[in-house]
């Protein structure tokens, strides 16, 4: 019997005007699976996440959400199934952490509906999960980069979607929170597609990795299959060594310093 | 604690609204005894002149002032929210320049009548909005910058035509148009209320209903869409609503500047910037501000009425300088 894919695409391509941005991406994501998207700057990681979120129309191929073409979903129904954390260049001038996180409830609320007591309980839980308890009334402009990123993740968690698309979720986070948040997402058994610049983090927390280069998929498979010395050295243009992380046994990469 | 603090501020604002309405109703060249005012309001006027002063002159002017101030401030708050630009203003679409051209044409070429000037100004304002929309729709209209830039271009075009017409005609006509463009409630009656009030209530009701969506739109379009917000249809809906509300206010009251820009900033400082708070707070504060400005315009100089735009612009620029100096400090 064919497994139930929560998110999949086959031969997906996208062009910016005349320039191809992504070509021939095929992937299937199972319930609870975590897929990491890695690649150098400009490889098409963010574009792929936005295509999977249905924000851009594919020029070829189709994204399927729970077996249905994503364009058949209305926006609210889609937002209940799938949440996106994109890289924001600027935040609103005046908004508190609570106000931001409550936005996550938007796809679940009717126009006239008020927030209930259970919503506020959920808010407290999410605040605790992202380590922002006690900062709920703080203005976003007064937060550090890492705290802002955690508040954004809190909003994504409040959305209650079963598929998360996270564009560089560990940006601005210190080592402790990087691991804490990825551990949290792993424990919630959510399906995840996330882009990473830190290949070792991707190796530790993702079941599979997709390596992109210039908008083309170079490899997809388990971290051990994708993170090989010749492949990574070729794509990132820098010699590297791969051994095993002594804590979890996953591949660990070390890049050569200096000019190569 | 924070909640009760906010509730206190709301109560204070409501009380201020009520007191302002009562005080401004009794402000002018003639001041009634409070007892006479109360009995007149209860349809028990001792003198017909008092009844006429209150019900035919002061009350329509007060209500029109309140509704126009509320409308301009609400439009400013909505546009600042939608464009994520704190300097957005209801006159963004070239509305004032369009209304100015309409008013100039009516003054120069149409026979004087009660309805001709507002109607021509309204048509001029709508024409300006239509041009801005058409220019923006030709390009990538999803980008709000295009709306703003098209508005600036259309404003200059209409202002140039107005200036040319006034230059070639009677200088008295130029004076009349200039006075009208600076804003006045002197033509107030109950009739414009039937026009402006439904626009205002519709705008306020929809803004309150879509409060969460509008808050989500403070983030990037992509984030808002991923939260299930139909960003482009909502933006177009609110742009059209604010344009219609501004055009209807400008048609009757002329160009009252700075309220739409200044009041939302004041409300953000006092009450916070969540959509619901901002929209209701801006409407109330805009209304209060304009009726006090009108009271000042009627009483500051003896036997003379100042244009409202002069006072609102002076207050607005002082307010912004104060805000800037506070931020630097």
> Are B181 and B95 spatial neighbours (Cβ–Cβ below 8 Å)?
no
Q: Across all residues in chain B, what is the average pLDDT?
A: 85
Interface touch A84/B219, C-beta < 8 Å: no
Q: Check residue B77 and give its pLDDT.
A: 94
Which range (A145-149, A166-170, B82-86, B200-204) has the least confidence?
Answer: B82-86
The verdict on a CB contact (< 8 Å) between B273 and A92 is yes
- Is residue B258 over pLDDT 90? no
User: Is A96 part of any domain?
Assistant: yes
Contact by Cβ (8 Å): A193, A185: no
Q: B209 to chain A: which residues are within 8 Å by CB?
A: 111-112
Chain A residue with Cα closest to B267: A94
Q: Which residues of B touch A92 (CB under 8 A)?
A: 84, 218-219, 273
Query: What mean pLDDT comes out for the span B60-67?
Result: 95
Chain A residue closest in CA terms to B225: A75
> Above 90 in pLDDT, residue B80?
no
pLDDT confidence of residue B1: 43
Q: Are residues B219 and A79, on separate chains, in Cβ contact within 8 Å?
A: no
Which chain A residue has the Cα nearest residue B215? A103
Q: What is the mean pLDDT of residues A105-113?
A: 92
> What is the structure's pLDDT at A112?
86
Residue B117 confidence (pLDDT): 78
Q: Which domain holds residue A79?
A: 5-255
Residue range B306-315, pLDDT digits in tens: 889 889 989 9
Count of CB pairs separated by less than 8 Å, A with B: 68
Domains of chain B with CATH codes = 59-318 (1.10.3470.10)
Which residues in chain B are closer than 8 Å to A112, comparing Cβ atoms? 209
Nearest to A106 among B86, B228, B272 (CB): B228
Sheet of A163-167, strands arranged across: A82-85, A163-167, A191-196, A34-38, A208-213, A216-221
**Can you tell me the mean pLDDT for B264-276?**
86
Q: Which residues contact A67 (CB under 8 A, 6 or more apart)?
A: A4, A5
Residues from chain B that touch A111, judged by Cβ atoms under 8 A, are 209-210
**Lowest mean pLDDT, pick from A211-215, B165-169, B173-177, B180-184:** B173-177
Would A260 be classed as within a structural domain?
A: no
Which pLDDT score is estimated for B109? 85
Among A186-200, B100-114, B136-150, B276-290, where is mean pLDDT lowest?
B136-150
Instruction: Please answer yes or no on whether A111 and B227 come within 8 Å at the CB atom.
Output: no
Contact A95 B86 (CB under 8 A): no
Give the angle A177-A182-A183 at the CA atoms, nearest 5°.
95
Instruction: Quick: pLDDT tens for B124-150.
Output: 988 988 888 887 777 665 566 777 788
Half-sphere exposure of B300 (CA within 13 A, CB side): 12
Contact A238, A230 (CB under 8 A): no
ipTM: 0.91
End-to-end CA distance of chain B: 28
Express each pLDDT in A29-53 by its tens digit.
999 999 999 999 989 999 999 999 9
Q: Which of A52, A56, A85, A94 to mutate to test the interface with B (most CBs of B within 10 A)?
A: A94
Nearest to B222 among A79, A86, A94 (CB): A86
Q: Quick one: pLDDT at residue B140?
A: 60
User: Averaged over A99-111, what is the pLDDT?
Assistant: 94
Question: pLDDT tier at B281 (50, 70, 90 boundaries)?
Answer: very high
Residue at A140 is within a domain:
yes
Q: What is the mean pLDDT of residues A158-174?
A: 91
Find where tokens 């003896």 sit: B302
Residue A20's contacts (CB-CB under 8 Å, 6 or more residues apart) are: A13, A14, A215
Average pLDDT over residues A181-196: 89
Which residues lie closer than 8 Å to A232 by C-beta, 6 or more apart?
A: A199, A211, A240, A242, A253
Determine phi and psi for A217, rounding to 5 degrees. Answer: -70, 130
pLDDT value, residue A1? 47
Strand partners, A241: A254
Average confidence score pLDDT of chain A: 90
**Considering only CA atoms, which of A203, A248, A255 is closest in space to residue A224?**
A203
Q: Average pLDDT for residues B215-223, to the nearest whole number?
A: 90
Determine the average pLDDT of the residues in B253-268: 89
Contacts 24+ apart (CB under 8 A), A144-152: A144/A172, A145/A171, A145/A172, A146/A172, A146/A173, A146/A174, A146/A177, A148/A91, A148/A172, A149/A173, A150/A177, A150/A181, A151/A97, A151/A100, A151/A101, A152/A85, A152/A88, A152/A100
Residue B142 confidence (pLDDT): 58
Average pLDDT over residues B160-177: 84
Give B14→chain A minimum CA distance, Å: 23
Mean pLDDT within A181-207: 91
| Residue B144 C-alpha, separation from nearest chain A C-alpha, in angstroms | 16
Structure tokens at B318: 């002082």
Mutation to test the A interface, candidates B4, B80, B225, B228, most A Cβ within 10 Å:
B228
Radius of gyration of chain A (CA): 19
Token pair listed for B52: 């006429």
**Residue B70 pLDDT > 90:** yes
Report helix, strand or coil for A240: strand
pLDDT of A240 reads: 92
Domain count along chain A: 1
For residue A69, being part of any structural domain is answered with yes
Bigger pLDDT: B247 vs B17: B17
3-class DSSP state for residue B121? helix
Spell out which residues of chain A touch residue B223, defining contact as CB-CB under 8 Å.
Answer: 84, 86, 88
The more confident residue out of A125 and B244 is A125
Domain of residue A176, CATH code: 3.40.50.300
Q: How far is A95 from B277, CA to CA, in rounded Å?
A: 12
Q: Best mutation site among B221, B224, B227 for testing chain A: the one with the most A CBs within 10 Å?
A: B227
């Amino acid at each position: 019997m064919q497994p139930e894919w929560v998110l999949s695409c086959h031969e997906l391509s996208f062009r910016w005007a005349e320039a191809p941005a992504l070509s021939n991406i095929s992937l299937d994501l199972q319930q609870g699976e975590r897929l990491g998207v890695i690649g150098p700057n400009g490889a098409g990681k963010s574009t792929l996440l936005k295509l999977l979120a249905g924000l851009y129309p594919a020029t070829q191929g189709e994204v399927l959400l729970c077996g249905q073409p994503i364009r058949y979903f209305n926006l609210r129904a889609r937002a209940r199934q799938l949440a996106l954390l994109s890289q924001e260049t600027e935040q609103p001038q005046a908004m508190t952490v609570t106000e931001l996180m409550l936005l996550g409830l938007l796809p679940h609320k009717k126009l006239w509906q008020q927030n209930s007591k259970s919503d506020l309980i959920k808010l407290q839980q999410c605040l605790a999960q992202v380590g922002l308890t006690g900062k709920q009334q703080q203005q976003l402009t007064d937060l550090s980069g890492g705290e802002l990123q955690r508040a954004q993740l809190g909003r994504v968690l409040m959305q209650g979607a079963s598929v998360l698309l996270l564009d560089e979720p560990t940006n601005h986070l210190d080592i402790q929170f990087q691991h804490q948040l990825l551990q949290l997402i792993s424990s919630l058994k959510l399906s995840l597609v996330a882009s990473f610049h830190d290949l070792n983090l991707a190796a530790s927390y993702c079941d599979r990795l997709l390596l992109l280069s210039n908008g083309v998929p170079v490899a997809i498979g388990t971290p051990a299959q994708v993170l090989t010395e010749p492949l990574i050295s070729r794509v990132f243009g820098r010699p590297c060594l791969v051994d095993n992380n002594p804590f979890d046994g996953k591949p660990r990469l070390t890049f050569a310093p200096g000019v190569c | 604690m924070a909640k009760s603090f906010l509730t206190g501020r709301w109560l204070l604002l409501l009380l201020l609204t009520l007191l302002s309405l009562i005080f401004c109703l009794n402000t002018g060249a003639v001041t009634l005894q409070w007892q006479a005012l109360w009995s007149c309001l209860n349809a028990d006027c001792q003198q017909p002149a008092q009844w006429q002063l209150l019900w035919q002159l002061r009350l329509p002017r007060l209500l029109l002032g309140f509704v126009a101030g509320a409308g301009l401030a609400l439009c400013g708050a909505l546009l600042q929210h939608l464009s994520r630009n704190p300097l957005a203003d209801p006159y963004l679409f070239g509305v004032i320049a369009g209304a100015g051209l309409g008013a100039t044409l009516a003054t120069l070429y149409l026979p004087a009548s009660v309805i001709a000037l507002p109607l021509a100004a309204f048509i001029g304002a709508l024409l300006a909005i239509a041009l801005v929309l058409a220019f923006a729709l030709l390009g990538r209209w999803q980008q709000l910058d295009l709306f703003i830039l098209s508005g600036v271009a259309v404003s200059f075009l209409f202002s140039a035509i107005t200036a040319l017409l006034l230059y070639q005609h009677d200088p008295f006509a130029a004076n009349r148009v200039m006075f009208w463009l600076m804003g006045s409630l002197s033509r107030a009656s109950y009739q414009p209320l039937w026009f402006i009030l439904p626009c205002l209530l519709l705008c306020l009701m929809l803004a309150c209903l879509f409060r969460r969506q509008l808050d989500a739109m403070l983030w990037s379009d992509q984030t808002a869409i991923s939260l299930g917000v139909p960003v482009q249809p909502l933006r177009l809906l609110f742009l059209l609503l604010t344009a219609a509300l501004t055009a209807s206010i400008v048609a009757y009251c002329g160009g009252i500047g700075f309220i739409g820009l200044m009041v939302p900033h004041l409300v953000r400082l006092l009450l916070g910037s969540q959509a619901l708070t901002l929209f209701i707070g801006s409407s109330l504060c805009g209304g209060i501000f304009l009726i006090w400005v009108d009271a000042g315009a009627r009483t500051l100089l003896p036997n003379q009425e100042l244009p409202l735009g002069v006072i609102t612009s002076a207050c607005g620029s002082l307010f912004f300088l104060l805000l800037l100096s506070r931020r630097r400090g």
